[in-house]
Amino acid sequence: MLLQIRTTNAVKSWHKALKYSIDKGTLRKISLTGCAKHVKVTTKEYDQRARKAELDFRTKRHPKVIEHPWMESLPYLVQLLIIKELQKAKKAWEEANDSNGRELLDEVSCDYKFYRSYQLPCRHIWTNNFTFSCLRDKDFERYKLI
């Protein structure tokens, strides 16, 4: 179902790029060969934008990766998700008047929707890590594999 939605959105996006990259008055005046050339040029531009987006997805790095090098191998959008959770955890940890958190057990996990959805450290895990330093290298290795 999700693939079907993505495909439909991609087709709509392609159609929009093709339709609005040339005005209607000009489109009416060009020949069939001109229309074919227009499709070819639009296709090339669209493919270039798609390649750039793919490259950014795989290679773009957030500046916070310097502080957390284990995130470097993750896609940029995943880095953004983790950094938002880190910021929320840091704020909650700084506002807490005492350590109401609990130490995490051997298996680092949480019942929070973010952790269940992405299997990445949520704000609760980060808060416990700030308090107890419970995250170890093996935990970060596990997150990199997901």
Are the C-beta atoms of 81 and 118 separated by less than 8 Å?
yes
d(CA 120, CA 139): 10
Element counts in the chain: helices (H) and strands (E): 7, 0
Condensed to tens digits (0 to 9), the pLDDT of residues 18-32 reads 777 777 777 677 788
Does 6 have pLDDT greater than 70? no
Share of the chain above pLDDT 70, in %: 84
pLDDT for the residue 68: 86
pLDDT of residue 121 exceeding 80: yes
Looking at this protein, which amino acid is placed at residue 27? L
Q: Cβ(21)–Cβ(42) under 8 Å? A: yes
**SS3 at position 69:** helix
Tokens of 74: 């993750």
C-alpha–C-alpha distance, residues 51 and 69, integer Å: 26
12 pLDDT higher than 70: yes
Q: Domain map of the chain by residue range?
A: 2-59, 63-145
Using pLDDT thresholds of 50, 70 and 90, give the confidence band for residue 97: low
Whether residue 2 is predicted with pLDDT greater than 50 in this model: the reply is no
